[in-house]
């Protein structure tokens, strides 16, 4: 069985605050600058900011002046008004993107971090299940891929599996629920018997406490 392609790693989703901020910043652009006063007025109300309110008033005065010049019929005012409209369009768009993060500060609430941590843990578990299935079908390939050998150079991601029969003692000690005394017994017994075939056999032969077994079972593999 050839190794399966790695699963895509979960990434944090774009928060609603970020999406709303981008849409808000695009308002001056899609309205050719005429929506800039209203967008900054909304920002001023949202953030209760006098500075943003003054900015909205400034853009409003500039927009009103441009509209008056465009409606004047005077060729000079038409050209100058068109130039001012273009300038307000570019300036308003750039300004909106520049202050977007302060108007819509990025939020990363605790529950979102927790949800991402859960997704990462599930992803790592699925990698371990995939690696175990591969090892059960083709042990030689599993050894070649160094499944369960974080102490060896490798390219295959097994999700954090540990091959109890071959890893150094310090790797065993890093397993959840493991103690130096348990690690000593495991190393001694695997040297005497040539290794274990399952976590249950290891528990019996190395006198591993029952309450530690569930913690070890999720991260251990036994290659011979």
The DSSP secondary structure of 91-145, one letter per residue, reads HHHHHHHHHHHHHS-----HHHHHHHHHHHHHHHHHHHHHHHHHHHH-HHHHHHT
- Start-to-end CA distance of the chain, whole Å, equals 18
| Radius of gyration over every alpha carbon of the chain, rounded to an integer in angstroms | 32
Structure confidence at residue 224 (pLDDT):
87
CA distance 19 to 25: 10
Structure confidence at residue 108 (pLDDT):
58
Residue 12 DSSP symbol: P
Confidence band of 117 (pLDDT split at 50, 70, 90): confident
Check whether 34 has a pLDDT greater than 70.
Answer: yes
Nearest residue to 169 (alpha-carbon basis) of 152, 192, 188, 148 = 188
Look up residue 152 and give its two tokens.
């060896």
Share of the chain above pLDDT 90, in %: 72
For residues 209-222, give the mean pLDDT.
Answer: 92
What letters, b where the CB count within 10 A reaches 16 and e where it falls short, cover 141-165? Answer: ebbebbbbbeeeeeebbbbebbbbb
Dihedral (CA of 8, 159, 136, 223) sign: positive
Structure confidence at residue 13 (pLDDT):
52
Structure confidence at residue 18 (pLDDT):
72
φ and ψ of 162, to 5 deg: -130, 120
> Is the full-model pTM beyond 0.85?
no
For residues 61-76, give the mean pLDDT.
Answer: 92
At 162, which helix (H) or strand (E)?
strand 162-163
The set of long-range contacts for 143-148, using a CB threshold of 8 Å and a minimum separation of 24, is 143/223, 145/3, 147/221, 147/223, 148/220, 148/221, 148/223
pLDDT 10s digits, 48-68:
999 999 999 999 999 999 999
For residues 13-33, give the mean pLDDT.
Answer: 81
Average pLDDT, the chain: 88
Nearest residue to 11 (alpha-carbon basis) of 120, 125, 159, 130 = 120
Beta strands 162-163 and 220-221 are parallel
SS3 label, residue 165: coil
């Amino acid at each position: 069985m050839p190794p399966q392609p790695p699963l895509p790693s979960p990434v944090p989703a774009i928060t609603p605050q970020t999406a709303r901020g981008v849409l808000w910043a695009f308002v001056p652009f899609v309205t050719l600058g005429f929506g800039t006063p209203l967008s900054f007025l909304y920002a001023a109300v949202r953030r209760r900011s006098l500075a943003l309110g003054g900015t909205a008033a400034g853009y409003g005065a500039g927009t009103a002046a441009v509209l008056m010049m465009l409606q004047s019929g005077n060729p000079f005012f038409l050209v100058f008004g068109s130039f001012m409209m273009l300038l307000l369009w570019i300036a308003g768009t750039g300004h909106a993107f520049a202050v977007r993060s302060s108007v819509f500060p990025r939020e990363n609430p605790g529950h979102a971090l927790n949800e991402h941590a859960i997704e990462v843990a599930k992803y790592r578990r699925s990698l371990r299940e995939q690696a175990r299935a591969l090892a059960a079908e083709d042990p030689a390939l599993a050894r070649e891929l160094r499944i369960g050998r974080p102490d060896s150079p490798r390219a295959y991601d097994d999700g954090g599996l540990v091959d109890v029969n071959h890893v150094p003692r310090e790797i065993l000690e890093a397993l959840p629920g493991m103690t130096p005394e348990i690690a000593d017994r495991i190393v001694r017994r695997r040297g005497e018997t040539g290794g274990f075939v399952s976590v249950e056999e290891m528990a019996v032969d190395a006198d591993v406490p029952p309450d530690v077994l569930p913690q070890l079972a999720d991260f251990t593999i036994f290659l011979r």
